């Protein structure tokens, strides 16, 4: 399953319903009692609305610009002033603007900055004496945002309520995105370190943020020996990748992957030209496309002939001389208007190992063995369907109606199950054996959104991708986009579920076990039992997170397997036409995993899929 496009997709839906998000331009004011001292110097933050402090826009690495582009991050320098005012979020990383991607600007334009390695810290309002006491240090939770590793920003997430109510320290981070974050090219950094040559710069940025936490978080009252790494979608993928990375060893002690998974890109795929089995958006293809922009009258094959005869130094000089706009625009030259759609999370053999992640996770000596919570949302794939004109009618550019809800639900069902297989069940089966009693799983089912202007978001999106995030943070995002989903009718339902989720997440951060939540008032959340597996397993495996009206919070046992997906799809009476079943198989085959080989597609549905080629719409 591909990583998150949730931000832009959700915005595309709700922009039909509301005007642009309101923006508060009132400058933040320094809170006198928020002065702290860290290795970089003295800094002051702001007072939050939940009896908390927040320090925004702290640099955790040197700006990756100039000669530091496409290199492993370097430590942040000392503050240049006697007192650093951490009152505003730092710049977002270079990405496409528009929607909820984290940056303002006309949709599709390039925005953000290459100088973007900033983080923000949220903490309960602590007295200076409490911060200084070693026996009162609080658990630390480091948030890795989603966005397909191509967009998003840590500044989109306010950890104030989670920090204040659960008595933890929350850190939200940025990391380089798109081709600035993952770019493995043979001409780059030939005299550099192995990390410089890895291509996994976004991954290394997250590692650097964890090093910053080790060096500095005690200055905010955080415990360097109790760090939980948590993230959603691409952030969840990055969580799994750091469990595999030797570079992250000892830098975090617990992990939470929300709607994640892990698909490692082979180094050759990420780097080579298409003719050498490279990806159509590989680094060398991007270089070729960038040269093509400068010589639009020449054929790409002609340009490639000249390109491969250049020295590595010439090629590196050209790449480093590209503006970020020219670099991102190079990805349009393949004929697809998808700038920045590069391969990421590369199995380079240094930052990330080569091979099947599941095999590494089956051996406790081959990964960072830390307690894990992994979960997905029941309706993950609905977020990718609501714009499909074959399934949804839109009137006057505002009012959207699903044509056939039964069929719509069926189309969303199997890719959503596949997400659960990839993000939870497949790895839980391996990890629960290599580290028994240290894996917990969940499925988020809440689907009681409001219906602004009568649009049935609860049916179109439901428990879709990204819908659990506000529950974890306690609805601190006040943008109109999210507020349209909430009303008085669903307030008690969502607040009750959010409280329980925040308690579970915090209990895990404190002890490495979610149990009944930090307040001890919830349903007992049991670890994944590895003694049995499969759809007919008798032991309860994961926690369902839902409102009381829809069955409440409860343990469940239904495990997804590849065999159960195919069996249920073939027998599904909601999809009676062979073409409809093949349409679902197309989605499964086109996912980023290799569980559904293209070579087997035509044989599906008793050979019926041969009549509906993968390349056809």
Question: DSSP per residue over 43-84, as a string?
Answer: EE-EE-TTSEEEEEEEE-B----GGGTTS---BPPPPSSSEE
Output the CA angle 322-328-333, nearest 5 degrees. 100
Q: Which residues of the chain have pLDDT under 50?
A: 1-23, 337, 339, 532-537
Q: Which of 325, 334, 332 is nearest to 95 (CA)?
A: 325
Distance CA 256, CA 141 (A): 10
In whole angstroms, what is the distance from residue 491 CA to residue 257 CA? Answer: 26
Domains and CATH numbers, the chain: 6-84+111-265+354-380+387-407+419-508 (3.40.50.1820), 266-332 (no CATH)
Q: Identify the bridge partners of residue 542 per DSSP, sorted by sequence position.
A: 556
Using alpha carbons, select from 375, 369, 377 the residue that is nearest to residue 512: 369
Q: CA-CA distance, 377 to 417, in Å (whole number)?
A: 9
Backbone angles phi, psi at 170, to 5 degrees: -110, 130
Annotate 127-181 with DSSP letters as a single string. Answer: -HHHHH-GGGPEEEEEEE--STTTS--GGG---HHHHHHHT-EEEEE----HHHH
Cβ(213)–Cβ(329) under 8 Å? no
- Chain segment 486-541, per-residue pLDDT in tens: 999 999 999 999 999 999 999 999 999 999 999 999 999 999 987 644 444 458 89
pLDDT digits (tens, 9 = 90+) for 133-188: 988 999 999 999 999 999 999 999 999 999 999 999 999 999 999 999 999 999 99
> What pTM value is reported for the model?
0.94
> What is the reported pLDDT for 107?
77
């Amino acid at each position: 399953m591909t990583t998150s496009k949730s931000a832009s997709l959700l915005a595309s839906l709700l922009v039909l319903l509301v005007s642009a998000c309101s923006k508060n331009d009132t400058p933040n004011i320094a809170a006198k009692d928020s002065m702290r001292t860290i290795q970089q110097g003295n800094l002051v933050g702001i007072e939050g609305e939940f009896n908390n402090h927040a320090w925004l826009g702290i640099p955790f690495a040197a700006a990756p610009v100039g000669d530091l582009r496409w290199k492993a991050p370097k430590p942040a320098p000392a503050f240049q002033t006697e007192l650093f005012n951490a009152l505003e979020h730092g710049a977002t990383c270079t990405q496409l603007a528009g929607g909820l991607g984290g940056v303002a600007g006309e949709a599709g334009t390039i925005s953000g900055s290459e100088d973007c390695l900033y983080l923000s810290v949220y903490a309960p309002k602590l007295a200076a004496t409490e911060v200084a006491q070693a026996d009162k240090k609080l658990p630390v939770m480091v948030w890795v945002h989603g966005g397909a590793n191509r967009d998003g920003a840590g500044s989109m997430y306010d950890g104030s309520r989670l920090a204040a109510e659960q008595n933890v320290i929350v850190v939200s981070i940025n990391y380089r995105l798109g081709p600035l974050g993952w770019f493995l090219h043979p001409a780059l950094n030939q005299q550099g370190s192995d990390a410089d040559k890895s291509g996994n710069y976004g991954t290394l940025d997250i590692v650097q943020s964890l090093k910053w936490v080790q060096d500095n978080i005690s200055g905010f009252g955080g415990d360097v020996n109790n760090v939980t790494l948590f993230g959603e979608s691409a952030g969840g993928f990055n969580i799994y990748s750091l469990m595999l990375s030797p570079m992250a060893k000892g830098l975090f002690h617990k992990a939470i992957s929300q709607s994640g998974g892990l698909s490692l890109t082979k180094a050759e795929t990420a780097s080579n030209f298409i003719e050498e089995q490279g990806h159509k958006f590989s680094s060398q293809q991007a270089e070729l496309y960038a040269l093509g922009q400068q010589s639009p009258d020449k054929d790409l094959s002609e340009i490639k002939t000249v390109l491969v005869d250049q020295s590595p130094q010439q090629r590196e000089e050209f790449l480093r001389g590209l503006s970020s706009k020219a670099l991102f625009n190079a990805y349009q030259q393949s004929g697809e208007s998808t700038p920045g759609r590069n391969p990421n999370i590369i199995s380079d053999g240094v930052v990330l190992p080569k091979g099947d992640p599941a095999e590494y996770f089956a051996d406790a000596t081959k990964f960072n063995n830390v307690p894990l919570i992994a979960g997905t949302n029941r309706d993950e794939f609905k977020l990718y369907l609501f714009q499909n004109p074959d399934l949804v009618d839109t009137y006057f550019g505002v009012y959207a109606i699903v044509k056939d809800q039964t069929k719509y639900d069926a189309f969303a069902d199997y890719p959503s199950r596949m997400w659960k297989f990839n993000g939870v069940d497949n790895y839980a089966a391996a990890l629960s054996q290599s580290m028994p009693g240290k894996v917990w799983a969940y499925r988020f089912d809440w689907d009681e959104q409001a219906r602004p202007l009568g649009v049935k978001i609860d049916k179109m999106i439901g428990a879709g991708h990204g819908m659990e995030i506000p529950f974890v943070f306690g609805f601190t995002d006040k943008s109109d986009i999210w507020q349209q989903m909430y009303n008085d009718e669903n307030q008690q339902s969502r607040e009750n579920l959010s409280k329980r989720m925040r308690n579970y997440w915090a209990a895990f951060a404190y002890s490495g076990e979610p149990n009944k939540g930090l307040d001890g008032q919830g349903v007992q959340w049991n670890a994944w039992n590895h003694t049995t597996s499969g759809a007919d397993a008798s032991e309860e495996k994961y926690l369902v997170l839902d409102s009381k009206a829809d069955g409440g919070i409860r343990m469940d046992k239904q495990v997804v397997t590849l065999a159960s997906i195919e069996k249920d799809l073939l027998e599904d009476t909601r999809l009676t036409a062979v073409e409809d079943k093949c349409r679902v198989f197309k989605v499964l085959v086109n996912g980023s995993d290799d569980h559904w080989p293209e070579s087997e597609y035509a044989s599906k549905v008793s050979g019926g899929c041969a009549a509906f080629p993968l390349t056809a719409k």
